Structure 1
Amino acid sequence: MPGNDQSCGVLNEPRLVERKFLARPQHEGAGAIVRRSIGRFELKYFDPFLVLDEFSVTAPAGFPDHPHRGFETVTYMLQGSVTHEDFEGHKGTIGAGDLQWMTAGRGIVHSEMPAAQGTQKGLQLWINLSSKHKMIEPKYQEMLSKNIAEAVEDGIKVRVIAGESLGTKSPIYTRTPTMYLDFTLKPGTHLQQPVPTSWNAFVYVLEGEGMFGNLKSSAASAHHILLLGKGDGLEAWNKSSKPLRFILVGGEPLGEPLVQFGPFVMNTQEEIDQTIDDFENCVNGFEKARHWRSESALSLDM
């Protein structure tokens, strides 16, 4: 992707934290608990990002059969495992550290349900698609934890889910240009990570406590999202005595009109109305929804 040099280096204009708030638990799906930071009333949309959920599910709770159109979902497991099924016959289970990058495109109906005992935890990010990509065929990119690119340097470990860091690149293809980096900083570590200047970017803290933007900023702890201002990258410090883990996500803004109705995201109200009609009548990408139910849904009927 042009202009997408994301390897670590010296920053000329580090991005400062413009907004910071705590993602509080809320109910979603069928009995699932999510901490939603993007896609809530304080932050409806952070172009091109529609939703960021840190989810926690314990069977029989989960996310039963539901549709999508017009965007991508990125599921990154932190603990446990989840089984995904869809009406195209695709089925698979992703465990801790595994990744699924799903392009819903013109339409998909799927389920995401716990695949193990205990609590399953992970992150799900929704990335908007440009108008020219909204009606493409659905597609999956899946990657086991052992195959996700990693790099370690001077007390910094990074898992490169999308984009590039510490000279290591991800093979994931992003239709909307995106970087997604999972950093762990040892105590006393300082990070400088470039981000393309035209992109929007945010940090979501998973574990520990860190300082972002500059050393005068207040420390941010787990479940906080930090929206970054303009600049050429992120500076972060771990001044605590415990490891700091966070994701840094950036994307090129689409700058297009957005109309959302639940799991459907298009550019105009007319397109949303058409999508609802397509789904209800099982046409134009939703043909297989007429007779399909996931195995997990069928088991509940028995």
Structure 2
Amino acid sequence: MTQRDSSASTDGPIPGEMVQHGTGVNSNRAFPTDGYPHNLDPFVLFEQFYIDPETGFPMHPHRGFEIVSYMIEGGMEHEDSLGVANTAYENDAMRITAGSGIRHSEFPADGRACTGLQLWVNLPQAEKDVDPDYVDATADSLPTEAQDGATVTTVVGEGSPISLHTPMEYLAVSVADAWTWSVPEKWSGFLYGVAGDGTVDGHPFTGGDMLPVTDAQSVTLRSDESLRVVAVSGRPHGEPIRQRGPYVL
């Protein structure tokens, strides 16, 4: 996959597209897709996965980027070539630094289906060969606060035990009225609808939708009932993103 222009603009939310992985796992991919064929430097891809009890991801390799997984429902068992074995449940998070190379597997826990979100974050060229690493965080270790119109959990960012080589912030947000989110100057970001219905700057916004938000932009989400979203932003590397399957070169 070649470098895509992360500065591409859009007039409103873009629906994700369903993809099926070779192992039978289905995902709603936010980007890159036919409808939004771009990366969002420093972000390589983002999707919501649905793993049925009889499917999963057997041991496979990664290299050259970092992975953040955040669980929405059920549990996911992780094992890797570092000797780590961990099961993440609802609102738990994991970060894998693939770096110079790591192998891992992901399967649903307890014989039940699971759903979660997975984000791939590029490593800058100077750090592509860092040692692989892993860290996880339980739901109660992630900072959560009530803000005007929303409840906000910091998955990556100030107060979270999870950090990456790329300066970034990853917020899990439940909007019950109106909530405004801003992307820092010179950063790139996006909103993704996890569940529920509402609007973003007056445009309908629902589960599976994605909205790119870049360079000091602010947007306002509104919901009469409940809208669950993630808001992700990070500092671009300004380097080509070259994805080759499970590797980002």
Q: TM-score, normalised by structure 2?
A: 0.90
Match 1:198 to one of 164, 170, 186: 186
SS at 2:37 equivalent: coil
Match of 2:211 in 1: 226
Kept in 2: contact 1:18–1:227 (CA 8 A): no
Q: Give 2:197's aligned amino acid.
A: E
**Relative to total residues, which structure has the larger helix share, 1 or 2?**
1
RMSD: 1.7
Match of 2:232 in 1: 249
Taking the aligned partners of 1:131 and 1:140, their CA distance within structure 2 comes to 20
Taking the aligned partners of 1:172 and 1:31, their CA distance within structure 2 comes to 29
SS at 1:121 equivalent: strand
Change in 2 beyond 3 A, CA 1:245/1:161? same
Taking the aligned partners of 2:10 and 2:230, their CA distance within structure 1 comes to 15
Does 2:71 correspond to 1:83?
no
Q: Give 1:199's aligned amino acid.
A: W
* 1:43 Cα deviation after fit: 2.4
Kept in 2: contact 1:18–1:228 (CA 8 A): no
Change in 2 beyond 3 A, CA 1:40/1:19? same
Q: Give 1:246's aligned amino acid.
A: V
Does 2:175 correspond to 1:185?
yes
Does 2:14 correspond to 1:31?
no
Match of 2:5 in 1: none
Match 1:152 to one of 146, 149, 155: 146
SS at 1:208 equivalent: strand
* 1:153 Cα deviation after fit: 2.9
Q: Give 2:195's aligned amino acid.
A: E
Taking the aligned partners of 2:134 and 2:32, their CA distance within structure 1 comes to 23
SS at 1:132 equivalent: helix
SS at 2:203 equivalent: coil
Match of 1:174 in 2: 164
Taking the aligned partners of 1:171 and 1:117, their CA distance within structure 2 comes to 29
Match 2:248 to one of 243, 265, 274: 265
Kept in 2: contact 1:17–1:228 (CA 8 A): no
* 1:179 Cα deviation after fit: 0.7
Kept in 2: contact 1:159–1:181 (CA 8 A): yes
Taking the aligned partners of 1:102 and 1:171, their CA distance within structure 2 comes to 13
SS at 2:140 equivalent: helix
Kept in 1: contact 2:44–2:241 (CA 8 A): no
User: Rg bigger for which structure?
Assistant: 1
Match of 2:127 in 1: 133
Residue segments in structure 2 that go unaligned for 5+ positions in a row: 1-8
Kept in 1: contact 2:195–2:206 (CA 8 A): yes
Taking the aligned partners of 2:16 and 2:217, their CA distance within structure 1 comes to 26
Deviations 1:37-88 (A, max 9, x none): 1133432411111111100011220111111000001110101111111122
* 1:248 Cα deviation after fit: 0.4
* 1:112 Cα deviation after fit: 0.6
Kept in 2: contact 1:38–1:49 (CA 8 A): no
Match of 2:3 in 1: none
Does 2:20 correspond to 1:22?
no
SS at 1:47 equivalent: coil
**Relative to total residues, which structure has the larger strand share, 1 or 2?**
2
Residue segments in structure 1 that go unaligned for 5+ positions in a row: 1-15, 267-302
Count of residues paired in the alignment: 240
* 1:260 Cα deviation after fit: 1.7
Output aligned runs, 1:22-61, within 5 Å: 22-41=15-34, 42-61=36-55
SS at 1:235 equivalent: strand
* 1:29 Cα deviation after fit: 4.1
Change in 2 beyond 3 A, CA 1:66/1:181? same
